[in-house]
Amino acid sequence: MAGTMMIKIVFSGGLELLFGNERNQSVLIPPFVPSDNSTHSSLSSSSESSTPSSYNDTPSTGETKAADLEYLIYHLRDHLLKERPELFMENGTIRPGILVLINNTDWELEGEGSYQLCNNDEIVFISTLHGG
Amino acid sequence: MAPTSCSLCRDAKAILKRPKTGQQICKNCFFFVFETEVHHTITESELFKPGDRVAIGASGGKDSTVLAYVMKTLNERYNYGLDLFLLSIDEGITGYRDDSLETVKRNQQQYDMPLKILSYDELYGWTMDAIVEQIGKKNNCTFCGVFRRQALDRGAASLKVDHIVTGHNADDIAETVLMNIMRGDIARLGRCTSICTQGEDTIKRSKPFKYAYEKEIVMYAYFKKLDYFSTECIYSPDAYRGHARTFLKDLEAARPSAIIDIIHSGEAFEVKEEIKAAQKAQQTCKRCGYMSSNDLCKACTLLEGLERGMASSVITDRARKNMDAMGPAPDNIRTIPLFRSTPTIAVELPSQS
Ligand SMILES: [Zn+2]
Ligand SMILES: [Zn+2]
């Protein structure tokens, strides 16, 4: 599908343990996604079949938004996370204590969840909750 | 969103929002302010004097790895004149400590510092694996905590160091303040926030990262590409600390200064004399000579319980009395080595590989 974005994902600081112990992964994200962050109609992650699914037949309200980091978090939870989602997400965002970097910049400087994804972005998630 | 420029140098692109101040700063300014703040913590508290031998308690985790790197950097930059060592404790936890010790061994090469590894097995005759096999997972953190603290002191004595520095950061200290408040342990509040503690008989211990936020330590490690190991202890979940930590992270998300505010609150608790008086006077352990508030130090008490198969009953004073009532300790109870006057120091020097 035209405009599909490839997003590089890095999990570290122990967070990779929730994601099948794979630190480096990548996902394909459509340019427009459901506003309610429903991910079931979107493109699958690159590790699965790359046949584009028809996300037009989405059962949700049909309202869409440009794909943002908030949507990506839901996508990762629904498609890459292997266990214990409560250790990754809390109240519709990343759990406090997990640091997020967008292209090597603190996501707090980039609008956090409202950051609009671009093709080839690299998003790093680092847990600070594991032993020092 | 247009890139923000650094609020310090006003030149480079900001990469980090500081939790303490909200400032948006670039990578080089971040390295500089982070290191300089630790330097100020060290100099304002007069932690060291030239010629001091200082052991860095190194677990291979993020905090101690960053601490080793920053201590080395500051020692060279400001001519502290310190002899730095890495001191690691091998608790004997298969699959956990093995991997993190590999990280420490790499740090030894990377930072060119002598490394001493001291194991529970060689000190106490028990690995954590063996302890857990005997007592189960319920109280094992009590054993590990007591054994680790004493192992660091004993390891430091064998290195003849004056001082142990540990990677405890501001988040850890705030968490401990909360836990002491929730337990009603007011007497311990002052001590847990002090940057440097020293028992009568033991080596000084201090926390140069007392005011460093965990977020900045992790970001520092990330941007410096430091090599650290992160996983949960397989026996650990210290549930109580876990709740305190989650609560603290939620507070920090709402108001980042919460962490420093809690530390200041802990510092401000004036411990009244009558509470201090209730704490027992220090003496030395009749079996091993380590400082203790009872006839036997905590490690010797726990060890005796393990040897007599009564380990789960030595956690409280009352249980201790019950064990005493069973008769005197057998003669063959191990004496934990103190390394008080070791003539030669067994240190692995960094080899060129
Ligand atoms: Zn700058
Ligand atoms: Zn003792």
The residues of chain B that CATH labels 3.40.50.620 are 32-279
- For A128, which of B64, B214, B250 is closest by C-beta distance? B214
State whether residue B161 is helix, strand or coil. coil
Query: In angstroms, rounded to a whole number, what is the distance separating the alpha carbons of residues A55 and B247?
Result: 39
The residue segments making up the domain with residue A67 are: 5-127
Q: Which residues of chain B have pLDDT under 50?
A: 200, 273, 277, 341-346, 353
Amino acid at the residue B188: R
Counting ligands in written order, the one closest to the CA of B295 is: 2
Q: CA triplet B4, A118, A28: central angle to 5 degrees?
A: 145
- Predicted local confidence at residue B339, as pLDDT: 75
- Predicted local confidence at residue A49, as pLDDT: 40
Is some CB atom of chain A closer than 8 A to the CB atom of B15? yes
Mean pLDDT, chain A, whole residue set: 84
Tokens standing for B346? 């067994």
Q: What is the ipTM of this complex?
A: 0.85
- For B232, which of A14, A97, A99 is closest by C-beta distance? A14
- A30 pLDDT more than 90: yes
If you measure from the C-alpha of residue B298 to the centroid of ligand 2, how many angstroms do you get, rounded to a whole number?
7
- Predicted local confidence at residue B2, as pLDDT: 65
CA separation, residue B39 to residues A31, B47, B50, B111, B216 (Å):
47, 10, 15, 19, 15
- Predicted local confidence at residue B159, as pLDDT: 92
Whether residue A132 is contained in a domain is answered as no
Counting ligands in written order, the one closest to the CA of B292 is: 2
Whether residue A11 is contained in a domain is answered as yes
Asked if B181 and B187 touch (Cβ cutoff 8 Å), the reply is no
When computed from its CA atoms, the radius of gyration of chain A, rounded to whole angstroms, is 14
- CATH classification at residue A104: 3.10.20.30
Domain total for chain A? 1
- Predicted local confidence at residue A58, as pLDDT: 47
- Predicted local confidence at residue B94, as pLDDT: 85
| A104 to chain B, closest Cα gap in Å | 7
| A51 to chain B, closest Cα gap in Å | 33
Query: In angstroms, rounded to a whole number, what is the distance separating the alpha carbons of residues A90 and B267?
Result: 32
CATH topology of domain B32-279: Rossmann fold (3.40.50)
In SS3 terms, B188-208 reads as: HHHHHHCCEECCCCCCEEECC
If you measure from the C-alpha of residue B111 to the centroid of ligand 1, how many angstroms do you get, rounded to a whole number?
26
- Residue located via tokens 């460093």: B212
Q: How many A/B residue pairs have CB atoms within 8 Å?
A: 75
Higher confidence at residue B349 or residue A3? A3
- Predicted local confidence at residue B107, as pLDDT: 92
- A130 pLDDT more than 90: no
Cross-chain Cβ contact B231/A99 below 8 Å? no
- Predicted local confidence at residue B347, as pLDDT: 53
What pTM was computed for the model?
A: 0.86
Tokens standing for B297? 């130090």
